[in-house]
Structure 1
Amino acid sequence: MFSFQTFKAKVRPFARMSAVVAIGVAVTACSEAKTETVAATRPVKVVEIAKTSTTRELDYSGAVRARTEMNLGFRVAGKITERVVNIGDKVSPGDLLARIDPTDYQLAVTGAEASLAAAEQQVETALLADQRAEQLFAKKFASEAQREQAALAYKQAASQRDAALSSLKQAENQVAYAELRSDQSGIVTAINADTGQVVGAGTPVVSVAVDGEKEVQIAVPELEITQFAPGQPVTVTFWSYDQILLDGKVREVAGSADPQSRTFSVRISLPDDARVLLGMTARIAASIDSKQQMVSIPLSALARQEGKNIVWVVKEGADTVHARGIKVAEFVADGVQVAEGLQPGDLVVAAGTQFMTENLKVKLPEQRAANATN
Structure 2
Amino acid sequence: MFSLSHTTRKLTAASLVLASTLALASCSEEKAETKPDIRPVKIVEIAKATNVRSLEFSGSVKSRTEMNLGFRIAGKVTERLVDIGDRVRPGDVLSRVDPTDYRLAVDSAAANLAAADKSLQTARLVIDRASALYKKDAVPKAQVEQAQLAYDQADATRIAAASSLEQAKNQLSYAELKSDRDGIVTAINADRGQVVAAGTPVLTVVAEDEKEVQIAVPENDIADFKPGKTVEARFWSDDRLVLSGKVREVSGSADPQSRTFSVRVSLPNDPRVLIGMTATVQADAAGGKDTIIVPLSALAEKDGGKIVWTVDRKAATVHSRPVKVADFTADGVGVTEGLKPGDIVVSAGTQFMTENLQVKLPAIVGQVTAGLTN
Settle same-fold status: TM greater than 0.5. Answer: yes
Unaligned runs of 5+ in 1: 1-26, 370-374
CA distance in 2, matches of 1:93, 1:351: 61
Match of 1:362 among 335, 344, 358: 358
Letter of the structure 1 residue corresponding to residue 285 of structure 2: I
Match of 2:66 in 1: 69
**For 1:101-132, what per-residue CA distance to the aligned partner results, in whole angstroms no more than 9, with x for missing partners?**
11101111111111111111211121222222
**For 1:327-348, what per-residue CA distance to the aligned partner results, in whole angstroms no more than 9, with x for missing partners?**
2222123321212221111122
Letter of the structure 1 residue corresponding to residue 271 of structure 2: A
CA distance in 1, matches of 2:203, 2:211: 20
CA distance in 1, matches of 2:303, 2:204: 57
Letter of the structure 1 residue corresponding to residue 77 of structure 2: I
| Matched-pair contact (CA < 8 Å) for 2:75–2:196 | yes
Equivalent pairs, count = 340
Structure 2 SS opposite 1:310: strand
- Does 2:172 correspond to 1:179? no
Letter of the structure 2 residue corresponding to residue 143 of structure 1: P
Match of 2:336 in 1: 339
Letter of the structure 2 residue corresponding to residue 291 of structure 1: G
- Does 2:168 correspond to 1:198? no
The 1:355/1:222 distance shift into structure 2, 3 A limit, reads same
Match of 2:167 among 150, 170, 189: 170
Match of 1:145 in 2: 142
Match of 2:157 in 1: 160
Shift of residue 87, structure 1, vs aligned partner? 1.5
Structure 2 SS opposite 1:242: strand
Structure 1 SS opposite 2:279: strand
Match of 2:104 in 1: 107
Structural mapping, 1:220-299, within 5 Å: 220-299=217-296
**For 1:71-115, what per-residue CA distance to the aligned partner results, in whole angstroms no more than 9, with x for missing partners?**
111111101111111112221111111111111011111111111
Unaligned runs of 5+ in 2: 1-25, 366-374
Match of 2:133 in 1: 136
The 1:34/1:85 distance shift into structure 2, 3 A limit, reads closer
Shift of residue 145, structure 1, vs aligned partner? 2.3
CA distance in 2, matches of 1:43, 1:191: 61
Shift of residue 290, structure 1, vs aligned partner? 4.2
| Matched-pair contact (CA < 8 Å) for 1:44–1:362 | no
CA distance in 1, matches of 2:364, 2:59: 44
**For 1:308-360, what per-residue CA distance to the aligned partner results, in whole angstroms no more than 9, with x for missing partners?**
322233344455544433222221233212122211111223344345555x2
Moved more, 200-209 or 100-109: 200-209
What CA RMSD, in Å, does the superposition of the two structures yield over aligned residues? Answer: 2.7
| Matched-pair contact (CA < 8 Å) for 1:99–1:180 | yes
Match of 1:4 in 2: none
The 1:218/1:120 distance shift into structure 2, 3 A limit, reads same
CA distance in 1, matches of 2:40, 2:84: 63
The 1:100/1:363 distance shift into structure 2, 3 A limit, reads closer
Question: What is the TM-score with the length of structure 1 in the denominator?
Answer: 0.82
| Matched-pair contact (CA < 8 Å) for 1:53–1:294 | no
Match of 1:116 in 2: 113
Match of 1:188 among 174, 185, 188: 185
Shift of residue 147, structure 1, vs aligned partner? 2.0
